[in-house]
Chains A and B, each alone.
Chain A
């Protein structure tokens, strides 16, 4: 059945393209006819003066259609307090098209392609909107952000303009309203058995070198154990992608789930071929040494999560990659049942030659809007509503925590506490009601992004400790925007995946020792043979063009 969904995606892409071509030819004249944007006919229900920090309330009851990605853990319920309270506060009722989360992107493509899309399409990750741009079916939201005071205020206050610019398409507009974080949120790192470290009198490693030494010391004491046997080995994007992700960052390159064929070099002010970077070679060499010395289980790159978790639980390995959720939900319960004295905890992402850095992106998945919404009499009200719910402090707090006095209470210092019978991420294990399941708050559709204070407010003390260390690190430079023309897009599309697949495949061969590192230079020339140099040249060309066209 998964096979079928791949076919669906392909079919939809072709269909969307076909429609796009059709729409392009007719679209251009109507654009000319419109001229500027006169929204005087679209103000029904909108507030006359809507400013940042102000409560949005539609002047008359309005309905908006919305696509809804239904999560299995908290399936949508009509009786949620979230819906009724939202209507009370804003006068807005959302009419949902409910889609199972498993196939959300497919259905979204289908609906957009069929011209049947609901007005609001949340949970759209930056990059996913690109395929729809040429069809004219989605709204260039950058033209309408002046209707969104909270959004603009946050972009300005948090210095996010250059990051938002990376979303721009060849026409200089962007088509998705991203979720905004005040600070970079790192979540993935290595978790190690701290009780084993303690036993062997070892400190938690801070750098990649210390990590190597600590793992070697564990191996010496427990020769039959792999100190790390990693998970996500069957991940379709990149096996053990988390491990490659945070170690790649440490070596100043991009790998794993962060991999892109091009990496921005801020000193040279241009993009370079990721796979040919010195940092990339160091990363591969480092991981190869871990495998060679028996510190990293070679099966890490092929085994299922269940196998990795079972090794950890049975004491056949002492660590694996994790995020805050998987640590608490998956690693600890299995371990606790077999070995109650075992302790496992996140270590801050190991520091490498690139220094104390973290990734640059502070953008989240966001909202795409159907271009038909623009013709609705309620268009302005809808933009104000989106601005309030997703981008105002009040709206974000409401979406995450719920209603003061019902689901949580706030004390004098501003600290929020869940009401005693409401549970969420194990904060109130004895609670009989669940913040997500029974009230509809902290819903991934509505609650994301925001201030670091809000983000941390539901973290456990140990996670806050990790966040504190990571927040202190410097974010790497934001790469400049480099939107492609249609021709370039096509060329990039031809090169992109084969290149990535080749780098991935050879990376794994080098790491596992199937290909000697002495062949590194051959590998780099193979990359160029596959168009890596031309690819990056094209990216640089697009970068320069954008910089020239938008020089202010």
Chain B
């Protein structure tokens, strides 16, 4: 989704005659770029606005929020809500859980997915088709919620990080992307390494993986974002609040603010949470991902295309 560097392209092209310049000069292309730029700017504004609004609300005073004056920037600046949320020990406990779960789950997922994908990329593997089918089958069919729950509980995984890590360890989509990437990996390199005496694992570890950093980084990002954002598995398999990830904490907080007052009569314990508490919790929750994203993003853009085109 990144725009190519600026509309100053014609001038730049002049200095580098080696590159083909033809279509960029045409009028149609200029119009296309113009329209494209406007459309994408609109998309950016539409997606950015709610985000900025949340940030602005999180720093605004209650009065300004209640009267609906907060739009793009904070009004009546205050960090009081941040102090309040950060003073709740359960928030930090859950935050720590999220970090822990994300690290463990991503590590497990990346190891298993890489190994599976690498194996599947080898055409001489017997039963390769069956192994692919088994994986793809799970994309379309699953045992269902209750059987899964019974299984995870029966294995004694409930209330442990493994209940989150193991059932979600292999994302079939990621697996297939990785498989097709490995399939395009120059086989000569692997053969050379084998000739030099490396075992299969040695080839994977010392030759293939070091040359696949972009791919692995992309997968790490994919998995990490998914695990960071996920609340559902934790909600199912965790029975104590000190085991919840921060997403469950956040969801509960937002839901109680929007439902509590509206459940009909008899909700004596309905207590509305101020709008700024929600925004503050949201900002604190997405902050790490927002901070990490720009640095991994360049892998993301190049990596996701890797393996997409065969040739």
Contact = CB atoms under 8 A, between A and B. Distances in A.
Interface in A1-36: 1, 4, 8, 11-12, 14-16, 19
Interface stretch (B133-141, B145-153, B176-184): B145-153
B202 to A, nearest CB: 43
B150 A76 contact: no
Given A101-B255, A187-B265, A323-B265, A306 B68 contact: yes
A115 B150 CA distance: 8
Given A113-B146, A444-B269, A98 B66 contact: no
Contacts of B252: 70, 72, 100-103
A96 B150 CA distance: 19
Contacts of B270: 325
Contacts of A498: none
Contact of B269 (A98, A186, A310, A443): A443
A313 interface: yes
A219 interface: no
Nearest to A71: B269
B146 A15 contact: yes
A98 B240 contact: yes
A235 B231 contact: no
Interface string B155-187: 000000000000000000000000000000000
A162 interface: no
B62 A232 contact: no
B267 A444 contact: yes
Contacts of B268: 325, 442, 444, 447-448
B282 interface: no
B131 to A, nearest CB: 28
B145 A11 contact: yes
B272 interface: yes
A334 B68 CA distance: 11
Contacts of B244: 100
A204 B236 CA distance: 50
Contact of B266 (A1, A100, A185, A309): A185
Contact of B272 (A97, A186, A329, A365): A329
Contacts of A114: 146, 149-150, 153
B150 A116 contact: yes
Given A98-B241, A306-B275, A333 B149 contact: no
Interface residues of A, number: 64
A76 B259 CA distance: 19
Contacts of A185: 265-266
B150 A310 contact: no
Contact of A110 (B65, B231, B236): B236
Q: Is the interface of B mostly helix, strand, loop or mixed?
A: helix
A100 B248 contact: yes
B207 interface: no
B67 A313 contact: yes
A307 interface: yes
Contact of A333 (B62, B232, B249): B62
A488 B86 CA distance: 53
Interface in A425-448: 436, 442-444, 447-448
Given A314-B67, A337-B62, A188 B265 contact: yes
A165 interface: no
Nearest to B151: A114
Given A114-B149, A187-B266, A325-B272, 15 more contacts: A73-B256, A74-B269, A100-B244, A101-B252, A103-B255, A110-B146, A110-B149, A116-B153, A185-B265, A309-B66, A330-B272, A334-B63, A338-B63, A442-B268, A447-B268
